[in-house]
A and B are shown apart, each in its own frame.
Chain A
Amino acid sequence: DGGITQSPKYLFRKEGQNVTLSCEQNLNHDAMYWYRQDPGQGLRLIYYSQIVNDFQKGDIAEGYSVSREKKESFPLTVTSAQKNPTAFYLCASSSQAGVSYEQYFGPGTRLTVT
């Protein structure tokens, strides 16, 4: 079964703690992305990576960090510096080799920080 997996589905943390969200894909896609979704707002890009060992900041990178050590994996760390971390986090991937740049999404992780 090819696709994108995110774990866990729900995550609860205390304020001041760092937390890492997992994203794995077996689609052999080069590019991976992290988005944040808040009620009443569209998806906003946090970080993205076009190739292994390289990544770029998106529109709202402050308080987040990522790594891309393997093609299949793109974990996102929400640090204590992120002021409003409670949100729904979505991971996506796309092939950069074709012509479409079509993105495919995982099921999401809902993070609640209290």
Chain B
Amino acid sequence: DAGITQSPRHKVTETGTPVTLRCHQTENHRYMYWYRQDPGHGLRLIHYSYGVKDTDKGEVSDGYSVSRSKTEDFLLTLESATSSQTSVYFCAISDTRGVDTGELFFGEGSRLTVL
């Protein structure tokens, strides 16, 4: 498996609290992604990064922000968590050629429950 670790793996929080999920890679891949997985919706892209300090929005970015200050770390922040953000969050990385020419390698996922 590619060297990707997500933390925390499980988190329960209350509505209105801030939450940060961390993705750490040891592969030196340029592209990093955050997806959320919900039943019936597959995997939906939240944000992605194509380099240090270079990020862009995906299809479901409202309520989320990201930061990438180092090649190896990509942080996803929920400024004020809502129950609709209860989900399983997957980080993914791909090689320097970009997603349309390479495989996505996923982390193990982070299960977030917002009460």
Are A and B physically bound partners?
Answer: no
Measuring CB to CB, which residues of chain A are less than 8 angstroms from any residue of chain B?
A: none
Measuring CB to CB, which residues of chain B are less than 8 angstroms from any residue of chain A?
A: none
